[in-house]
Amino acid sequence: MKLNEKVVAGIFAGCIIAGAALLIRQSAGAWGFKSLSLLIVGILIVLVSLVYSKGNPPDSMFPLSVLTGGLIVLIYIWIISIGTWKTWPVTTDYYDLLANAFHHGQLHLETKPDPALLALDDPYNPDNRKGIPVLWDLSLYQGEYYLYWGPVPALLLALVKPFYFQPVPDNILSFAFMVGLLAFQILLILELRKNYFQELPVWAIALSISFIGLINPILYMLLEPRIYEAALVSAQFFFIGGLYWLFTAFNKPSISRLILAGTFFALSVGSRTTLVIPIAFLALLVLIRAVKGYRPQAVQFIFALALPLALGAAAYGWYNHARFDSFTEFGLGYQLTQTDIHETLNESFSAAYAPPNLYKLLLNPFEAKPTFPFFKATRWGGPAWYESYNPHIYDYYAEEVTGMLVGSPFLIFALLAAVGSQKNIRWITVSLAGSSLLLFLTLLFFFYLTMRYLLDLLPALSLLTCIGFWQGLESLKARPTAKSIYSIAGTGLWAYTVIISFLICYSSNLHRIRIYNPHLIQNIEWTFNHFFK
């Protein structure tokens, strides 16, 4: 299946319209009828363009999917605006600073470090720079500030700088990429349903879309979307987008879609470098699949995927060398952060961190509270025997995180995807399972773990979970009673997962809500007390 000119033009036009809506909102400082209407129209144009091509009309579930996705986007707007709908509290603007630098032909930020900082013998030691103003968590090298986060969002933002001169904060980018991520996940769900699960009931599709769109930590991240969140969401947008182009490329062989897959994967690594590991795994799977199943076109398929990846790697290597005189230095060794990471960078990854991280990732519990909402995410709630275990620079109390099995038990259906009977979907489940496992291991061996890092893992794992849940439904077709019990149990786990996501978002960010919308707390607590007490 080849992408025709109308499809490409539709995607481009939709992105332009949606981007214009965000910029209009940013200029006005609040959502208006015009900006919100343009946003909705732009998103719809992109979605329709992506699912439509000659001889491939939209899936019958498309209207339901758009409606469900639209409701989720409205929830995103409510969360990011902290219940005000119109005003979005600004967080950081680091990507805008880098975009301005790119626009003016330089790689370092235009903001200059304080002379007192440059006069220090060791500016990376936080004790030495007390009282000296710094741009927090940036990289300092040879008297200039740099971003260690992947540059792709700033490159995209730099494209609009000749036409739009106002600052674009990182919360705008986080929202745009989050909506894009949701769109690609919906498209993947529709593609999987159409090709492998045509008998799925309507409610299962709506449940799956709401699960992938609302699972923790998505809402948690949207309440305070900074540079950290923008980089993470950008990487996942391009990674899941790459999976969409990859899976559809093999459903009906397409060189153009493989080129798009490779391009999206390269942009994903350009947003967050740790994704190079699962992408290398996916490239290996494509190599095997192309040689085994498409031998006459194997070289073309492999080259179509590999060329964008090679160009992306070369570009990133040049970018690093131009900044830090090293092809493999991303700026992490020159961070100005709460610890002297300049001295401990070689200890960032270690198998010694696996035991506490495994507990954090899967089982870290809530912190009990005496009042509504009765719990919040905690930094560490592990067993006492861990107290004497203190490997290297591992930080037990880094930031709050809720174990996935505690906060999102619907994820257990991912296990069913491994035992499904459909051979024709096996390479997709292997792709998702392998990517999820590699991302899980990356988090497991890192010295610092926080809630937002779960987004590295959950988009791919959520899609695998949906496949597992669907396979369970199909395997019970001939047993109506068992299927009903299974459906009720699954719906219960889904409801718990979504509710917990909202409550974690609310309870863990009360400090921010009190600043920007204290009336929201009053209204929520009044509603709870009125209906449940």
C-beta of residue 189 within 8 angstroms of C-beta of residue 202: no
* pLDDT of res. 189: 95
Token readout for 333 is 């060794």
Give the tens place of pLDDT for each residue, 235-264. Answer: 999 999 999 999 999 887 789 999 999 999
Nearest to 196 by CA among 428, 480, 491: 428
> Which of the pair, 16 or 533, is modelled with greater confidence?
16
Q: Measured between alpha carbons, how far is 401 from 460 in angstroms, rounded to an integer?
A: 19
| CA separation for the pair 84, 149 (Å, rounded) | 30
Closest CA to 398 of 453, 334, 457: 453
- R_g of the chain, CA atoms, integer Å: 23
The token pair at 216 is: 């923790």
Pairwise pLDDT comparison (55 vs 186), residue with the higher score: 186
pLDDT of residue 252: 78
CB-based contacts of 269, cutoff 8 Å, min separation 6: 150, 235, 275, 276, 279, 312, 313, 316
Place of tokens 């905690």: 378
pLDDT, residue 2, reads 47
Q: What is the pLDDT of residues 187-244, one digit of tens each?
A: 999 999 988 998 899 999 999 999 999 999 999 999 999 999 999 999 999 999 999 9
Q: What share of the chain is helix, strand, coil (3-state, %, to 5)?
A: 65, 5, 30
User: What average pLDDT does the segment 508-523 reach?
Assistant: 89
Q: What is the pLDDT of residue 205?
A: 95
The whole-number pLDDT of residue 209 equals 97
Lowest mean pLDDT among 71-85, 329-343, 451-465: 329-343
Q: How confident is the model at residue 274 (pLDDT cuts 50, 70, 90)?
A: very high
Residue bearing the bigger pLDDT, 165 or 186: 186
pLDDT at residue 326, as a whole number = 95
Sign of torsion, CA 181 186 187 188? positive
Alpha carbon distance 428, 470 (integer Å): 14
Asked if 151 and 173 touch (Cβ cutoff 8 Å), the reply is no
Taking the C-alpha atoms of residue 352 and residue 445, their distance in angstroms, rounded to an integer, is 7
**The pair of three-digit structure tokens given for residue 11, joined into one six-digit string:** 């995607």
| Mean pLDDT score across all residues of the chain | 89
Query: What percent of the chain lies above the pLDDT cut of 90?
Result: 63
Mean pLDDT throughout 512-518?
Answer: 91
Task: Please determine, for residue 107, whether its predicted confidence score (pLDDT) is greater than 50.
Answer: yes
Cis peptide before 201 (omega within 30 of 0): no
Give the Cβ contact number of residue 38 at 10 Å: 21
Residue 142, by phi and psi: left (phi above 0), alpha (psi -120 to 50) or beta? left
The pLDDT tens digits for 283-313 are 999 999 888 878 788 899 999 999 999 999 9
Least reliable range by pLDDT among 50-64, 356-370, 464-478: 50-64
pLDDT-based confidence at residue 533 (cuts at 50, 70, 90): low
Start-to-end C-alpha separation, the chain: 58
Q: Among 14-23, 52-61, 125-134, 452-461, which stretch is predicted with the lowest mean pLDDT? A: 52-61
pLDDT, position 87: 85
Q: Give the closest residue to 246 by CA, choosing from 302, 197, 293, 196.
A: 302
pLDDT at res. 43: 74
Under 8 Å between Cβ of 356 and 382:
yes
pLDDT at res. 420: 66
Which range, 160-164, 271-275, 368-372, is most confident? 271-275
The first and second tokens of residue 345, run together, are: 């960078």
The answer to whether the beta carbons of residues 69 and 183 sit under 8 Å apart is yes
Q: How confident is the model at residue 65 (pLDDT cuts 50, 70, 90)?
A: confident
**pLDDT tier at 54, thresholds 50, 70, 90:** very low
Q: Which residues, in sequence order, are bridge partners of residue 366?
A: 377
The pTM assigned to this predicted structure is 0.91
B/e letters for 264-297, b = 16+ CB within 10 Å, e = fewer, are: bbbbbbbbbbbbbebbebbbebbeebbeeeeeee
| pLDDT higher than threshold 70 for residue 421 | no
pLDDT at residue number 1: 40
